[in-house]
Structure formats: C-alpha cells, structure tokens
A and B are shown apart, each in its own frame.
Chain A
Amino acid sequence: MRILKSVQTKVCVDGSLMKEYVLDEPLTEGFLKFLEQFGTIRRFEQLKKPYISFEKEHFITIKGFTGDCNVEVRYKKEFQDLVADYFHLLLFYEREGGPGISRLQGIENTIREKMKIRLDSAERRGT
C-alpha cells in the first residue's frame, strides 16, 4: 500500500498531530496482520462499516475502516519529530513481507533509544 495524498492536517486537543491520508488501496488484512507485530489492533466488526484502530504507545494511532482507503493517523505530541515517518515506515516495510518486520523493529529500537535519551535529559532538567 502507498499513500496517494494527505487530505487533512490538524492539531488535536491533546496536542497530537492528526493527518488523514488516502491510500492507493483499501486497508488490507495483510497490512493489519503486519500492524499486529508492532502494537494493539482493535476491531469493531459489527459496525455499519467495520472499524479498526491501531495503537502504539508513544508513537502513533491509526483509525480507519476495513475496505476503506482513508485512514487517520495521529502522531503523539511528546515525540512528534521522532515518529513523523513511522506510518510511512509501516507501509514501506509491509511491502517487504517477513524481513520487513525485523528491519522495522531495528528502526523502532533506535527511535526508542532517542526517546529514552530525551526523557532522561528532561528528568535531569526537572521538567
């Protein structure tokens, strides 16, 4: 799956950044399976349109409907700069199949290291 365009950007109540993307194909079961490796997927299949949400703490949330090309991605406020590319990385490494999982996990570890350094530094400053 690829991003065709970004149709909306706004800052949410909690300070997170929301972007709505249009993908080149509807959310696939394969992509949702891939997402399960990296966070929590919730599915509400009984709704008029089957709703899914993906949550990865400190990183991003994704909301959408299976069979729909539009997704809403929220980048958490605290580490927005570090996770700005994370949704793109998910799409990119899903295309690589199995090997993509370990590669993205490696990148994720690097991001977490940077998060930790920032948190430690903030703690030392007492903020």
Chain B
Amino acid sequence: MNYLSQVLSMKHAHQDADTPLIYLNNAATTWPKPPEVLAEVARCLETPVFEHGRSTAGGATDYPSATREALAVFFHADEPDHFIFTQSATDSLNLLIHGFVKNQKTQFHTITTELEHNSVLRPLYTLEGEGRLTLSILPFSDDRVSLPEIKKAIQPDTRLIVMTHGSNVLGSLQNVRPVAEYCASNDIFLIVDAAQTAGQIPINLSEIPAGAFVFTGHKALFGLPGTGGFWVQDMEAVATTRQGGTGSDSQARAHPQDLPQKFEAGTPNYPGIASLLAGIRYIERQGQDAITNKCRGLTALFTSELRKDPGVSLYTPSPDLPVVSFNIGGLDNDEAGFILAKAYNIITRTGLHCAPLVHDRIDGGKGCVRVSFSHFTTPEECRTAAAAIREVAESADPEVRADKGLR
C-alpha cells in the first residue's frame, strides 16, 4: 500500500457509506496522523525503553535525545538540551510562567494580549490574584497586537510578556520578532506561545531572541496528544517548580539544575516523544514551506467560497493560518456545529475555543464555529464543507431565504 493510500484508508475507516467524514478540527488536534507517526509509536512500544540514566538496554532509540536534536535542527536552535518535554503547551506555559514568577522577589508588571488562550490567561490571572504580579491585557487591532502598542504599556517594573504567535480563533500571525528584540534589549522575559504555529509555518529561533518558545506536539507537529514542550534560552530565568527523579545525580537532595533535567522530573512520555520525532521527520520530508503553502491555499479556497455569502459572517476574511472562524445568521454556533456534524459529517469546533477575550471582541462572547485544516485536508473537502455551510446558511437565515425568493 503506498503512502497516500495509507492516509486515505485511515480516513475511510471513519466514513459512513452515505457521507464521508470531513475532519476540520485540526487547530485542536490534527487527524489523521502520518502513517510513519503511528509506526514509530508502535516501534517505540515494541522495544525496551532506552534512555541514558534510566535503562541499561542498548540498541534501541534514545527517543528523548534524538527528538531534542531533531527539534533543534527543525527550529534552528543551537542547543538541543534547551528543549524541554512537557505534556502540552498548557503544561509548558504553566511551568514557565510560575517558574519565572518564583524567581522574582517582588511583585512586578506583566503584559499579555486579548488574543491569548486560557493556558496563558489563567496562570496569569491566578498569579495576579495572589498579588505576585500586576497585569495589562492589550487589545488587538486588525487581529494583531503590535510592538508600538506593547511599548505604550511598558512600565518601569515590566519584567514579563506572554503572547501568542498565532491566534487560535482569528488565524492571525503575530510579528513576534521585533517584540523579542525589544524584550531582549530591555531585560524583559518574553514567552511566545507557538501552539498554533509550530509545524504550521517556518520558525527560526536563531532569528527570534525570545526568552522561551512554547510548542505543542499534537497539532501541526503531528504528534500524539499528551506531548508538548518549550525551548528556553536562559535556564536561570525560570525556577523549577517540579522535583523528582531524573536518572542522574540521585544522591543529591536538590533537584538537578542542568538542562534538560531542571524542568523534567519523572519518566518521560516515550511513545509520545517518538510520535513527535516522526512528525518532525514527516514535515521535513514534505518540506515546511510546502505544507505552509498547501494550507494557505486551502484557506484561501475555503474563504473565497464563503466570503460573499450574506448568511455567513467570517471573522477574518484572509487568515494567515489555516483557521477560519465564522457564524451563520439565524443559528447559534452550537446549533451550526451540531447540524454540520450530524447532517453533513463535518467535524468543526464551536464555542469559545478557550480564548474568551477574543470572543468578547468579535461576537459579544457568544462564540463561533471554527474550521481548521491540515496538510491532509483536500481541496475537495474544503469545497464540500463550504457548500454545506452555505446550504445551512441559506436554510437558516430567513432574510437570505427571502432574498432568494425561497419563501
């Protein structure tokens, strides 16, 4: 069976006879995964665990070390050991934010944006509530937060900025490089949340002097859920908030302070890390630019099909990332998602997408429907989904029906 056949057979296994399943929830978790990801996970589980310090088994792949090296090459970073594995982007953000705050002796000022996910907002709200920091949340304009706006919000005690690289609702890409350069020269620790961009667009960490860069494994990097991590430039900037076994320096009462052990306590998620390694290899084999361009093409095709439909409100007519959010007149987002799933077998995500402040701005906090594509989405699936959405909109909105003489 050739490669494309394997992927298609994975999709067909989930299709009923009448209506093919169209999975458009890739911004939450990509599906299907490349066949080599599943194969690597199986290979990992079929062999004894091997990692320096944790096993005497030889011959097998040291997945954590191999994946750190792959990540360093993939993101153009010099030191593989500065890549830390976690369970998710949320886990990474918690470790970094709480770890940075633990290192600060006094209350300080932090900046974040309305575009953020709750994985950023909730740790910051928690620490604000505990009096550990003061918080400014910057509004977005034209789907972005720019460096001049950030500079206006800087206070003498600003020590931390946490911002997304790409909005999970609007699909807008943030220009983090100038923000990182500004932070680097002003002693401000910048955490970039790249949950939506890692694996989706080319990222060169040697050109983005951020304090830390957070990724998740289960989205565009094609790994399993339960995988994620971060890259940290200066390990002294963040205190460790977890202690435990590292397979090294075991007589010491204090947790090791070398990387990566400083932030990794306990047995790693070997199968998950193996999936991440295979996911990165898949992207490298396809070419990151090719994946980026294909997804941009799908997004342009989909939005062009819907842009002129009076029953559909697109919140970003031309998103940078393959994420398209909309509402259908006459239906709440939950109903629209329900109809698309049950009547058309099209899987979307509805609601607030864990980004409540974005929704406060764009839809009064009521939420919307989001579709998101991956490298495995086909143009035909985009056309079919757009046609289904238009059909639902025509049926649901009395004004659209009236305009077309349908009642």
Contact = CB atoms under 8 A, between A and B. Distances in A.
A44 B391 CA distance: 11
Interface residues on A, range: 10 to 19
A47 B328 CA distance: 14
Contact of A65 (B342, B352, B367): B342
Interface in B353-406: 367, 388, 391-392, 394-396, 401, 406
Contact of B351 (A13, A47, A53): A13
Interface in A13-66: 13, 44-49, 51, 53, 63, 65
B339 interface: yes
A68 B344 CA distance: 14
B365 to A, nearest CB: 10
A70 B343 CA distance: 12
A45 B338 CA distance: 15
A48 B387 CA distance: 12
Contacts of A108: none
Contact of B394 (A46, A53, A65, A72): A46
A12 interface: yes
A48 B384 CA distance: 13
A47 B395 contact: yes
Interface residues of B, number: 18
Nearest to B344: A48
B352 A46 contact: no
Contacts of A44: 339, 395-396
Interface in B313-366: 334-335, 338-339, 342-344, 351-352
A49 B392 CA distance: 10
A13 B395 contact: no
A53 B335 contact: yes
Contact of A12 (B334, B388, B392, B394): B334
B352 to A, nearest CB: 5
A109 B247 CA distance: 65
Nearest to B353: A13
Given A12-B351, A13-B351, A47-B395, A70 B342 contact: yes
B369 to A, nearest CB: 13
A17 to B, nearest CB: 14
Nearest to B352: A13
Interface string A84-110: 000000000000000000000000000
Interface of B: 334-335, 338-339, 342-344, 351-352, 367, 388, 391-392, 394-396, 401, 406
25 contacts: A12-B351, A13-B351, A13-B352, A13-B367, A44-B339, A44-B396, A45-B395, A46-B394, A46-B401, A47-B391, A47-B395, A48-B343, A48-B344, A48-B388, A48-B391, A49-B342, A51-B335, A51-B343, A53-B335, A63-B335, A63-B338, A65-B342, A65-B343, A70-B342, A72-B338
Interface of A: 12-13, 44-49, 51, 53, 63, 65, 68, 70, 72
Given A47-B392, A47-B396, 8 more contacts: A44-B339, A46-B395, A46-B406, A49-B339, A51-B339, A51-B343, A68-B342, A72-B338
